Chain A
Amino acid sequence: MRPLTDEETKALFEKVSKYIGENIKLLVDRPDGVYCFRLHKDRVYYLSEKLLKLSTNISRDKLISVGTCFGKFTKTMKFRLHVTALDYLAPYAKYKVWVKPGAEQSFLYGNHVLKSGLGRITENTSQYQGVVVYSMADVPLGFGVAAKSTQDCRKLDPMAIVVFHQADIGEYLRSEDTLT
């Protein structure tokens, strides 16, 4: 386990700020405790300093996961956000998409959100903006990338994709083995 280098931190922040914008400052600088990001086996974990100090007692090969896994760095040093970060993205999300109850299950199976399943969308979402997907009951389901801006969404036909799927909470069951 080690802290992130500057380049890795930059990549992480860029990815996360796509979804929560400048609210990432609230993750870095928290009033209720000191939290930090640490890298372990190419995965980025977000944990409190108390937990960090406890985790130093476990050897590297025996340590599987610490705190919350935000995502992992690929071999080419690109950062990939996992669904386990949803708990921290959802409250600070800038652009939200609400999905109708019918299309909810489809999204949780890993499909993209179509225009027919779109309930609400925040105003002036630009195209390819990172969005967090909610159900109509304001339960965060996952996150994705807006395929069209809000303006264009109004003029689409019902079978067009409005949100590309990136991660959903159904992954907790589907990819149980790979998530740490």
Chain B
Amino acid sequence: MAACSIEDVLAKVEKDEAEILKNITVHKELELEFDIGNLAAFDKNPADVGLFRKHKKEEFLRSLARDNTQLLINEMWKLPTERVQEAVVAKLPEPHTRLPREKPLPKPRPPTKWEEFAKLKGIPKKKKTNLVWDDVHKEWRRRWGYKRAKDDTKDWLIEVPESADPNEDQFARRLKAKNERVAKNELNRLKNIARGQKVSVQVPPKDQSKAELGKAMQLARISTASVGKFQDKLPKEKPTRTVGKKRSFQPLIGDFNMEKQRQLDLLKVMENKKPRMNVTRAVNRQMREEDAEAARHKKEGRRGGKGGKKKGRGGGGKGRGGPKSRGGPKSKKHHGK
């Protein structure tokens, strides 16, 4: 009895093991291709279409998927493993399937302003060496960058040139010049990018009128955290007269002399603007003179016939004096105008 039971037990265990193995092993005619790096398995076995049609489609597909996944996991268990924080981790190999691009191809960089000009003029690109011989330090140094060959900001002695202010700091001057160059380069770089992207970067326009520049300067001055309160004035900056909505007037009892001077200046400007010679007045004056001449000649003609030269001259003199005396002093005043 016990032997029977033992045999039974052994047989049962064997059967169980076979069952488990059956579950694990999958029989395929063609071996699958594995790309463990991508966790992929490619099954090239032709699907049994008859079986697919006969059985329920869902069941067929599920069993197929199950078999292939089993094979894939069998492959994964063959990989070298390591323990990472109580978990068994398998180290995947490199994937060897070429996947298609996720994003489109990048567009080529648009040419910079210099590149366009060089292309236009036909200037070829000259290859420059990275290292340059520095005579001062007697060694090879790079052309640009950290510890470069010719760095004028690093001179320990600078001679003050003849034409410069003796109190000027030459070191600071060189440093400022370098900073300006760097800023200019950065600006040009950004401009090139902006031109390429056709994005509206806030670069100030080139041709601005005096009023626009003044307005821009005022806005820039108040565009600080404390709204321009601690902003120093430029050397020649004039105080703004009208800022904001509130109109500001001169004080009621201000400097009377200054007020008088301003008014006189205004009058001078107005006088200069007025035209000096009025055409109609000139014409009128000419007409009046001609009338006077005509009247004089008429009188001379009448008197000349009767009396001698003296009388004629006297009559002429009277005639000459006559019409002009009416507007004499007054008209003479306006001749200057």
Contact = CB atoms under 8 A, between A and B. Distances in A.
Interface of A: 1-3, 5-6, 9-10, 13-14, 17, 22, 24-25, 28-29, 34, 36, 38, 49, 52-53, 56, 122-124, 126-127, 149-151
8 contacts: A3-B249, A3-B252, A5-B249, A13-B267, A25-B264, A28-B263, A49-B253, A126-B278
A38 B252 contact: yes
A49 B256 contact: yes
A56 B326 CA distance: 51
Nearest to B270: A13
Interface in B280-337: 280-281, 284-285, 287-288, 326-327, 330-331, 334
A126 B281 contact: yes
Given A3-B249, A53-B253, A126-B281, A36 B267 contact: no
A149 B280 contact: yes
A37 B280 CA distance: 34
B321 to A, nearest CB: 15
A52 B252 contact: yes
Interface of B is mostly: helix
Given A122-B330, A123-B331, A9 B252 contact: no
B108 interface: no
Interface of B: 249-254, 256, 259-260, 262-264, 266-267, 270-271, 278, 280-281, 284-285, 287-288, 326-327, 330-331, 334
Given A2-B249, A124-B285, A24 B330 contact: no
A73 to B, nearest CB: 14
A9 B278 contact: no
A71 B303 CA distance: 57
Given A9-B263, A10-B266, A28-B260, A123 B250 contact: no
Given A13-B270, A123-B330, A124-B334, A3 B259 contact: yes
Given A10-B270, A126-B281, A28 B252 contact: no
